[in-house]
Amino acid sequence: DAGVTQSPTHLIKTRGQHVTLRCSPISGHKSVSWYQQVLGQGPQFIFQYYEKEERGRGNFPDRFSARQFPNYSSELNVNALLLGDSALYLCASSPGSSLSYEQYFGPGTRLTVT
Amino acid sequence: GDSVTQMEGPVTLSEEAFLTINCTYTATGYPSLFWYVQYPGEGLQLLLKATKADDKGSNKGFEATYRKETTSFHLEKGSVQVSDSAVYFCALSEGAQKLVFGQGTRLTINP
């Protein structure tokens, strides 16, 4: 079975632009979470979606938004990009919303803002 | 709020050496504790976990014991291999939807 897939792999954007990152969960998984990993730091939680509803939100500005589609794939959108948004964005999927389920992480999308 | 502190890296060892990576946490309740590993170019993989005090998580020769009295979850391995070279993250969750990660420890094993 395919693991969690993310696209694109790498992305370069300019300050002020908008970006959309995509995630396809493992087949059968209904929960998707997004994390931001700045170079040299641990991942920080951005959002969790389960059955197309937002179940959790981290301490990120409203420029960050996400949604989950009926096929359980997800998009993370970031508006008005700042230099500080440069990071590896990780998507994780799991069968349910509780962390009693193992989270499976994708390889990430490397975003560079110039 | 909840937080995780790991020993600073990078850590460099010779093959077959004993490994310890320290992890301590701060939480208001009784969190579950995790160790994740990130190999170059790959996503995070769950290495082991423990859900209550005195539980020992183990996998692939790695072990960690949930110590409530010292709020610690140190990762150990008796004999490391070159293939263990990676970045290791300690994390916690208090039943909410999010994992809280430490800053990561880069481990390099020389043959």
For the stretch A7-36, pLDDT in tens is 999 999 999 999 999 999 999 999 999 999
Q: Do A105 and B41 touch (CB under 8 A)?
A: no
Q: B88, B97, B99, B100: best mutation site toward chain A, by most A Cβ within 10 Å?
A: B97
| Chain B residues bordering chain A (beta-carbon distance below 8 Å) | 4, 32, 36, 41-46, 51, 89, 91, 93, 95-104
Q: Which residues of A touch B98 (CB under 8 A)?
A: 33, 45, 48, 56, 58, 99
Instruction: From first to last of the 111 residues of chain B, give the pLDDT tens digit.
Output: 889 999 888 999 999 999 999 999 999 888 999 999 999 878 899 999 999 999 999 999 999 999 999 999 999 999 999 999 999 999 998 766 689 999 999 999 999
pLDDT score of B30: 85
Beta strand A109-113 with A74-78: parallel, antiparallel or unpaired? unpaired
Who wins on pLDDT, A102 or A14? A14
Give percent of chain A above pLDDT 90. 84
Mean pLDDT estimate for chain A: 93
Please give the residue of chain A at the shortest CA–CA distance from B34. Answer: A102
Tokens of A41: 């730091």
Q: Do A48 and B45 touch (CB under 8 A)?
A: no
Comparing CB atoms, the residue among A4, A48, A99 nearest residue B43 is A4
pLDDT score of A2: 80
Tokens 């009784």, located at residue: B30
pLDDT score of B95: 67
pLDDT score of B21: 97
For residue B32, give how far its alpha carbon lies from the nearest alpha carbon of chain A (Å).
9
Comparing CB atoms, the residue among B43, B44, B98 nearest residue A56 is B98
pLDDT score of B71: 96
pLDDT score of A1: 62
b/e map A14-34, b = 16+ CB within 10 Å: eeeeebebebbbbeebbbbbb
